[in-house]
């Protein structure tokens, strides 16, 4: 099949919605990364998403809705706190894990009795959800294990010939996937995956916010984390990624001792002046680093990098999301100087 590249006009979004109603799948922009969209209530359509991505069957898909008020149709219980969070953060990059009802098939939830619900703010995705009227399952539109796509071109490269169409809505603004939270009780939440809605932002609404230990630590063999996606090697380019913690001087010294053919570095914009080794930069602060991290990982493959030393991002605020993606891209290889 030849993958159709669609723009984001009303007529093209109508075509995209029709494709979903027919049980087929498409790439679609969101404010976090590009998603691979299917009708979340259609088991066969959802199976096509798992197949196109090569995604393990126990890794659940997030269900996207045009408005949080629709969540009652797909869940069996919504705590009051969820409505408060929705008032502040929906639409936006927040996913809330809630008990699902029978309208969401087990294949969509990766066999769990819960479902992640998100209301995206991207105008193209939002309009698409309104036109289709469907609950839309949409994991990141990359081949499983590789960096997430933040442009229609990235999706085309991973999915050309495997899916019906890609809607082009420009570059994704945030660049890392949504913050995923679950409810430990009616009044306390747990961050299962960090994103651009930070712990500090969540604390403004809920005084009890736990960061799940799986965010920065490897999962032991056979253990099932609260967020199944956390157990897989993820976000990873072909190059071998190694995170280096330390000052710029220590970083330079380490690279100097370990330099050679195929070795590249990924550094802050502010490190670049006079930097003596092959490098790409990935922004000057955490928000920029979130925006650029996946496209830079893809670019490193394009230029033939074999080994990449990365100056560790901050773990504060949005930095935690960047660190969480990089440490998985690195297969947990961190060198502290």
Q: Which residues bind ligand AMP (CB under 6 A)?
A: 59-62, 97, 109, 112, 114-116, 139-140, 177, 180, 192-193, 226-230
Residue 8 CB contacts under 8 Å (≥ 6 apart), including other chains: 29, 124, 127, 167, 168, 169
Least distance CB 148 / Mg ion (angstroms): 5
Q: How far is 326 from 329, CA to CA, in rounded Å? A: 5
Structure tokens at 112: 């769990």
Least distance CB 209 / Mg ion (angstroms): 23
Residue 8, binding choice from Mg ion, ligand AMP, none, Cβ under 5 to 8 Å by partner class? none
Q: Which is nearer to ligand AMP, 154 or 311 (CB)?
A: 154
Q: Which is nearer to ligand AMP, 139 or 237 (CB)?
A: 139
Q: How far is 288 from 310, CA to CA, in rounded Å? A: 15
| CA 298 to the chain's CA centroid | 15
Q: Which is nearer to ligand AMP, 71 or 263 (CB)?
A: 71
140 binds Mg ion (CB under 5 A): yes
Least distance CB 67 / ligand AMP (angstroms): 19
Neighbours of 234 (CB within 10 A): 21
Return the closest-CA partner of residue 74 out of 86, 84, 62.
62
Least distance CB 285 / ligand AMP (angstroms): 23
* 13 contacts 127 by C-beta, under 8 angstroms: yes
Residue number, nearest CB to ligand AMP: 229
- DSSP classification of residue 111: T
59 binds Mg ion (CB under 5 A): no
Q: Which is nearer to ligand AMP, 185 or 261 (CB)?
A: 185
Residue 286, binding choice from Mg ion, ligand AMP, none, Cβ under 5 to 8 Å by partner class? none
Structure tokens at 151: 């442009």
42 binds Mg ion (CB under 5 A): no
Q: How far is 116 from 99, CA to CA, in rounded Å? A: 9
Q: How far is 37 from 48, CA to CA, in rounded Å? A: 10
Least distance CB 105 / ligand AMP (angstroms): 13
Residue ranges in contact with Mg ion by CB under 5 A: 140
């Amino acid at each position: 099949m030849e993958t159709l590249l669609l723009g984001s006009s009303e007529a093209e979004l109508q075509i995209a919605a029709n494709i979903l109603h027919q049980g087929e799948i498409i790439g679609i922009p969101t404010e976090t990364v590009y998603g691979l969209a299917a009708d979340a209530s259609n088991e066969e359509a959802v199976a096509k998403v798992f197949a196109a991505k090569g995604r393990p069957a126990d890794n659940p898909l997030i269900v996207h809705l045009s408005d949080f008020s629709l969540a009652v149709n797909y869940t069996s219980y919504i705590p009051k706190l969820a409505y408060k969070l929705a008032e502040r953060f929906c639409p936006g990059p927040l996913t809330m894990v809630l008990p699902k009802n029978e309208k969401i098939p087990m294949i969509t939830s990766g066999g769990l009795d819960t479902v992640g619900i998100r209301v995206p703010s991207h105008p193209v995705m939002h309009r698409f959800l309104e036109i289709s009227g469907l609950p839309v399952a949409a994991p990141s539109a990359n081949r499983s294990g590789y960096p997430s796509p933040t442009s229609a071109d990235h999706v085309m490269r991973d999915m050309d010939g495997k899916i019906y169409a890609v809607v082009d809505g420009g570059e994704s603004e945030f660049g890392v996937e949504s913050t995923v939270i679950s409810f430990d009780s009616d009044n306390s939440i747990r961050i299962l995956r960090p994103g651009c809605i930070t712990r500090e932002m969540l604390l403004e609404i809920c005084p009890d916010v736990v960061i799940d230990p799986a965010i920065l630590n490897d999962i032991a063999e056979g253990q099932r984390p609260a967020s199944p996606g956390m157990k897989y090697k993820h976000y990873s380019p072909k190059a071998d990624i190694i995170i280096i913690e330390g000052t710029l001087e220590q970083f330079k010294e380490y690279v100097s001792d370990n330099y050679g053919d195929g070795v590249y570095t990924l550094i802050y914009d502010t490190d670049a002046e006079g930097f003596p080794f092959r490098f790409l930069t990935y922004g000057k602060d955490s928000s920029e680093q979130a925006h650029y991290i996946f496209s830079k990982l893809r670019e490193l493959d394009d230029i033939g990098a074999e080994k990449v030393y990365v100056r560790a991002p901050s773990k504060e605020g949005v930095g935690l999301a960047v660190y969480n993606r990089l440490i998985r891209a690195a297969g947990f290889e961190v060198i502290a100087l």
